[in-house]
Amino acid sequence: MRSLFRLPSFAALGAALVLLGAGVALAASPVGTWTLDEAALRDSIRQKVEAKLAKLSPEKRAQAEAMMGHMPDTAKGRLSGTAEFKPDGTVVFVDGKGRRRTGRWTQEGDTIHAHGEGGQDYVGTLEGDTMRVKAGDDGDDAPMEIVLHRQ
């Protein structure tokens, strides 16, 4: 049997594609600094609020809407933040006010599991330079998605 290195280049390329298709390729690493997508977070908050409001009676919905006003829209700048995933498995979240929270992360393929110091679990999916994160099961019908972009 000939060595892979002696095969014609198109055959070597084909063999590489077969190996990649078989899951031999390494998943991307989350290590680095990620920035919160404020617009996506505002949309996610709006969807979560709408899902909760939809369950209320018309009277209670009107009261809740009057109390909330336009919260997601007026929170611009306060919804900013970063997440730094370190090679040692720690992650540091810094919000728009400079508050720091730490946690631990692990990776299984393109799935990132993070556990915050407050006990909250998060599951993220890597999609190139974008990470889509949802809080662990909080019993809510409309889980909020947090979108991060690699810096």
Rounded-to-integer distance, Cα 71 and Cα 74, Å? 5
pTM: 0.70
3-class SS of residue 17: helix
Q: What is the pLDDT of residues 38-92, one digit of tens each?
A: 988 888 888 888 888 888 898 988 888 787 766 655 555 567 899 999 999 999 9
Environment class of 25 (CB within 10 Å of its CB; exposed 0-12, middle 13-18, buried 19+) = exposed
Instruction: Answer whether residue 19 shows pLDDT above 50.
Output: no
- 30-150 fold: Lipocalin (2.40.128)
pLDDT given for residue 118 in this prediction: 87
Rounded-to-integer distance, Cα 12 and Cα 4, Å? 6
